[in-house]
Amino acid sequence: MEFGLFFELSVPRPFSDGVERTVYENALEQVRLADTLGFDTVWAVEHHFLEEYSHCSAPEVFLTACAVQTRRIRVGHGAVVCVPEMNHPVRVAERAAALDIVSGGRLEVGTARSSTWTELGGFNVDPDTTKKTWDEYVRVLPKMWTQERFAWDGVSFSMPERSVLPKPVQKPHPPLWVTVTSPGTELDAAARGIGSLGVAAASFAEQERRTREYHHRIRHCDPVSSVVNDKVATLNFLYCHEDARHAAATGMRMLGLFSFYNANLLPTREAYPTRAYQSLGALAPTPGAEAGSPGAPRGIPDGIAIGDPDRIVQAIKRWESIGVDALNFIVNTVEAIPQEDVLASLRLFATEVMARFRKGG
Amino acid sequence: MLFGTADVDALAARAPVMERLDTEPLVLPGTWVLQVTYEMAAAAREALLPPALHPTDPPLLSWTLLRCTSGPLGAFAIAQLRVECRSGLRPRGFLVASVIDSVDAGRVLTARWGYGSRAGDVHLARQYDAVGGTVRLDGRTILDVALRDPDPLGPHDIQYTASMHLAHTPRGVRLVQVDPTFAVERAERGRPHLVAFDAAAWGDVRIVPMHPVSASIAVADVTLPRLRYLCRPDVWAFDGTETL
């Protein structure tokens, strides 16, 4: 089992001077600690205009800072939005290759298509087209990284022959993923031979079914590249403390706030009727939505890594048993947990939980 | 975290009265539903909503026009102006105002679901190239919108959010959750086009349409439901939601 940190870079109101800087600096401190503790990957989203929920609109900059401040941990786009109005595919390839060089070959590249009207509308993107443009991007990126010269006559873009530079350190290229929010996208990933980067909550039973179908489908994939990334990663929430009651109260406050801010996003389908976006895409397990405020203590949903070390170990063993390869943790939301407590949670998790999933642990 | 900041007393001053809350469902068969959505100016996004509700980002308004040609209320057409919002974790639309062309139907809809509609002319015109909706009040056009260049959608591709209607109820001033079901028979989407909108006539000059988002037209059996939830307008929905 691999373990990662997953950053939305959520910022609490009021947006006073320095608050965004504090969020970024705290996140970087968490990444530096995670690097020394043996976490495998740090992921950063790409979101635009999402007040409070995510101020991570330039993940390549944040991830570059992560890379230069660490030695071992991998850095991952979770994920680059693959629509031309936001990111031209050549710029995606160029920036990724440069980051792969700067990080010494530690880059993971997640791909996505954005799901909110706030973002798509802000860039004047036609929601009906994003699945098509994403599909085109994941096919051309490996070509741009591996071919000496590249030309394309496509649907979302065309270009004459050019050398797309630089080339990535990892050969043939960094691992490719797609973020999975809506059920079924994991099969799109499998069909193309790319990793399934889950960013939506799923029950054990649901994830087991999806993982089984993903592994079945990827055996017969038509890969977009000469290498297949057959990993399944899922999103989780981490707050680890020796006192189970304290862990539950603190961790569930974080989870409740994340659920609230996530529910307050404006899904594309709510504003714009389309068959291209079928799911409203709740990213967090919703604990008793009408039953209390986001800060009220409630039961910890199955599989969520909130609790004392023994409880978290049991949850992770269950994820491991159903074929999940990696868990990526959100460790704070709108700075609801003091930074020192987040760091202490990471340290305890590393010594009492992560060690038991390493060789010899 | 953003909350509505509207003065509840001021909103309540123009809210309708509902004597009872134990209404039974009502089916409006074969109803035409035109919905046009615009982004609106963000400056007043909190000021338009009571503290129970949260604004969306960007703030959205929807005009929803229903034309019902048969059913228990007879033929009528109603136009609603709603501001999209959240009640706790749920997507909702806060009803700002509505206009109806049948006094009798309006009386029923207000008494049982808190629509509080004023009497006026509501017209919905279907052509091959466009669907137009107009609302006239006291002889003045207060809304003229259209869906242009319609394209077919699947019946499940349209999502309608439930409404929150502020009303004087037996439990006091409450937001009444009205979540009709729409059994869509056919649906189309087109480009939204706004010709005229009189914000003052709809009750709040701060509602300023800024950017077109979408327009849809559907034919559906609309079921106005049994009421299930109320919400105190002055506290957030996590604390103020009441089950009927």
Choose between A206 and B112: higher pLDDT.
B112
pLDDT number for residue B104: 97
Minimum-distance CB partner of B159 among A263, A269, A290: A269
Q: Is residue B3 part of a domain?
A: no
Tell me: pLDDT of A354 over 90. Answer: yes
CA of A157 vs chain B CAs: smallest distance (Å): 25
Within 8 A by CB and 6+ apart from A229, the residues are A175, A176, A177, A193, A194, A195
Q: Which of B39, B89, B239 sits opposite A289 (nearest CB)?
A: B89
pLDDT value for A286: 57
Residue type, B16: P
Give CATH for domain A2-357.
Answer: 3.20.20.30
Nearest C-alpha of chain A: how many angstroms from B237?
8
Q: Is the pLDDT of residue A291 over 50?
A: no
B-chain CB neighbours of A292 within 8 Å are 238
Segment B155-161 shows an average pLDDT of 93
Instruction: State chain A's mean pLDDT as an integer.
Output: 93
Q: Which residues contact B101 (CB under 8 A, 6 or more apart)?
A: B76, B77, B78, B119, B120, B121, B122
What's the confidence (pLDDT) of residue A170? 98
Q: Tell me if B214 and A269 make a contact (CB, 8 A cut-off).
A: no
What is d(CA A78, CA A6) in angstroms, rounded to the nearest whole number? 8
Average pLDDT of the residues in A316-343: 97
Q: Residue range B93-105: average pLDDT?
A: 97
Q: What is the mean pLDDT of residues A93-100?
A: 98
Taking an 8 Å cut-off on Cβ atoms, the answer to whether B37 and A275 are in contact is no
Give every CB contact of residue A184 below 8 A, 6+ residues apart in sequence. Answer: none
Identify the closest residue of chain A to B53 by CA–CA distance: A264
Q: Which stretches of chain A are DSSP H helices?
A: 19-37, 59-68, 89-102, 117-122, 130-146, 185-192, 204-218, 244-263, 268-271, 309-321, 339-352
Q: What angle do CA B184, B185, B189 make, to 5 degrees?
A: 70
Indicate whether A289 pLDDT > 50.
no
Amino acid A296: pLDDT: 46
Mean pLDDT of B165-194: 97
Q: Any CB–CB contact under 8 A between B159 and chain A?
A: yes
pLDDT value for A295: 45
Statement: residue A284 has pLDDT above 90: no
Measured distance CA(B72)–CA(B230) in Å, rounded: 26
Q: Which residue of A has its CA nearest to B187?
A: A273
pLDDT at A202: 79
Q: Give a yes or no: residue B140 inside a domain.
A: yes
Contact A270 B211 (CB under 8 A): no
Given pLDDT bands bounded at 50, 70 and 90, which one contains residue A287?
A: low
Partner residue opposite A263 with nearest CB, options B89, B158, B161:
B89
Going from the C-alpha of B44 to that of each of A119, B56, B91, B194, B197, the distances in angstroms are 21, 12, 19, 20, 17
Work out the percent of chain A whose per-residue pLDDT is above 90: 87
Number of domains in chain B: 1
Closest-CA residue of A relative to B154 is A275
The answer on pLDDT for A141 being more than 90 is yes
- Chain B residue numbers touching A13 (CB-CB < 8 A): 1-2
Across residues B115-137, what is the average pLDDT? 97
> Is residue B191 scored above 80 in pLDDT?
yes
| Backbone dihedral angles phi then psi of residue B220, each to the nearest 5 degrees | -150, 150
List the one residue out of A216, A212, A244, A230 whose CA is nearest residue A315.
A244
**pLDDT score at A292:** 46
Those residues with Cβ within 8 angstroms of residue B214's Cβ, 6 or more apart along the chain or in another chain: A271, A272, A273, B35, B36, B37, B189, B192
B54 has a chain A CB within 8 A of its CB: yes
Q: What is the mean pLDDT of residues A92-111?
A: 98
Q: Is the model's pLDDT at B165 over the cut of 90? A: yes
Query: A288 pLDDT exceeds 70?
Result: no
How close A116 comes to chain B (CA, Å)? 10
Amino acid (1-letter code) at residue B226? R
SS3 content of chain A, % helix, strand, coil (to 5): 40, 15, 40
DSSP codes of every residue in A216-282: HHHTT---SSSS----EEEEEEEEE-SSHHHHHHHHHHHHHHHHHHHHTS-BHHHHS--SS------
Beta-carbon separation of B157 and A273 below 8 A? yes
Dist. CA A182–CA A323, nearest whole Å: 19
* Mean pLDDT taken over chain B: 96
Q: Residues, chain A, total?
A: 361
Q: Answer yes or no: is pLDDT of A290 > 60.
A: no
Is residue B203 assigned to a domain? Answer: yes
Q: Where residue A264 falls among pLDDT bands split at 50, 70, 90?
A: confident
3-class secondary-structure state, position B15: coil
β-bridge partners, B2: none
pLDDT at A283 over 70: no
Q: Model confidence over A296-306: pLDDT tens digits?
A: 446 899 899 99
A278 pLDDT exceeds 90?
Answer: no
**Closest to A87 in 3D by CA, of A117, A108, A67, A57:** A57
Mean predicted confidence (pLDDT) in A320-346 = 97
Q: Which of A22, A46, A17 is nearest to A335 (CA)?
A: A22
Q: What is the pLDDT of residues A166-213, one digit of tens each?
A: 999 999 999 999 999 888 899 999 999 999 999 887 788 888 999 999
pLDDT at A226: 96
Burial A106-130 (b: 16+ CB within 10 A, else e): bbbbbbbbbbbbbbbbbeebebebb
Domain CATH code at residue B159 = 2.40.400.10
Q: Is B154 on the interface with A (CB under 8 A)?
A: yes
Residue in the structure block whose two tokens are 């029950």: A203
Contact indicator for A256, A221 with CB cutoff of 8 Å: no
Residue range A218-247: mean pLDDT, rounded: 96
- Residue A244 is predicted with a pLDDT of 96
| Confidence tier at A279 by pLDDT (50, 70, 90) | low
Task: List the domain range (segments joined by +) for residue B98.
Answer: 8-243
Would the CB atoms of A271 and B2 count as touching at under 8 Å? no
pLDDT at B43: 87
Rounded to whole angstroms, the Cα distance separating B186 from A354 reads 54
pLDDT, position A360:
64
If you average pLDDT over residues B130-150, what whole number do you get? 97
On the question of pLDDT at A293 being above 60, the answer is: no
Q: Which residues of B touch A50 (CB under 8 A)?
A: 57
pLDDT at position A143 over 90: yes
**B18 is a domain residue:** yes
B153 at A interface, C-beta within 8 A: yes
Q: What DSSP designation does A27 have?
A: H
Is the residue at B1 inside a domain? no
Q: Is the pLDDT of residue A282 over 70?
A: no
